Amino acid sequence: MRKRLAAGNWKMNGTSGSLSELEALAAAHPAPSVEVLICLPATLIERASRRAEGSAIAIGGQDCHAAASGAHTGDIAATMLVDAGASAVIVGHSERRTDHAETSAHVAAKAIAAQSAGLTAIICIGETLQEREAGTTLSVLDDQLAGSLPDGADAGNTVIAYEPVWAIGTGLTPTIDQIDEVHRHLRARLAARGLADIAILYGGSVKGSNAAEIFAVEDVDGALVGGASLTAADFSPIVTALEAS
């Protein structure tokens, strides 16, 4: 049985006042049949972890450095996330790949750091609109997956998130057939490495109104959700849709 995961990514949103959303989410889902994770700004992780204690909501980070410690001003080590109460971390989000020029080699190094610290690494890959229109989606994803997924990854320490860059925060989503094609393809690539049981999330403009049809796709094991994860009211229906799928 593959992991089923509803993961939220608050990105650079949220201060102390926003933590009540986590409590509302926990109250709405006291015993979910799927994993529920919220990846927070670093400043909120420790407080959120305390507030979520005893609930079914897991807390994650949005990035980590590849090194264990050292002279890297402003960066956060995977062990620091663990110390603050995180159980997972997103690596290689397209916003990091773009804003911070992260390559797949960086992403693989971060994933190794995360896994060594005991975190689940959520490794993001996705094509741009230009790449999709040029018909290179699957080869771009192959390159990103091969470059970003380290040896030593397994279903316990790794999740893949397929996030078409053009669908993130735009309200646009691929067709169900396009999602099916990509997830099926990624499953085959993982299977070729003996990793068919790694969960593959879809991400990009997932909301309560489209979650059920996306989760009906066989190789979609959950979602990585940005905008619609910021409030319990928006995220809860996504959790419910995954539970029902």
Residues of span 108-167 touching ligand PGA by CB under 6 A = 163
Applying CB under 6 A, among 5, 9, 96, 162 the residue interacting with ligand PGA is: 9
**206 binds ligand PGA, rule: CB under 6 A:** yes
Tell me which of 150, 164, 203, 222 binds ligand PGA, using CB under 6 A: 203
Rank residues 86 and 228 by Cβ distance to ligand PGA and give the closer one.
228
Can you spell out the DSSP letters for the chain?
----EEEEE--S---GGGHHHHHHHHHH-SS-SSEEEEE--HHHHHHHHHHHTTSSEEEEES--BSSSSSS-TT--BHHHHHHHT--EEEES-HHHHHHT---HHHHHHHHHHHHHHTPEEEEEE---HHHHHTT-HHHHHHHHHHHHS-TT--TTTEEEEE--GGGTTTS----HHHHHHHHHHHHHHHHHTT-TTSEEEEESS--HHHHHHHHTSTT--EEEESGGGSSHHHHHHHHHHHHH-
Active site residue 163: yes
Positions in 217-236 near ligand PGA (CB under 6 A) = 224-228
In the list 169, 209, 216, 233, the residue contacting ligand PGA (rule: CB under 6 A) is 169
The answer to whether 100 contacts ligand PGA (rule: CB under 6 A) is no
- Concerning whether 93 is annotated as a catalytic residue, the answer is yes
List residues with catalytic annotation.
93, 163
Residues found near ligand PGA in the complex (CB under 6 A): 9, 163, 168-169, 203-206, 224-228
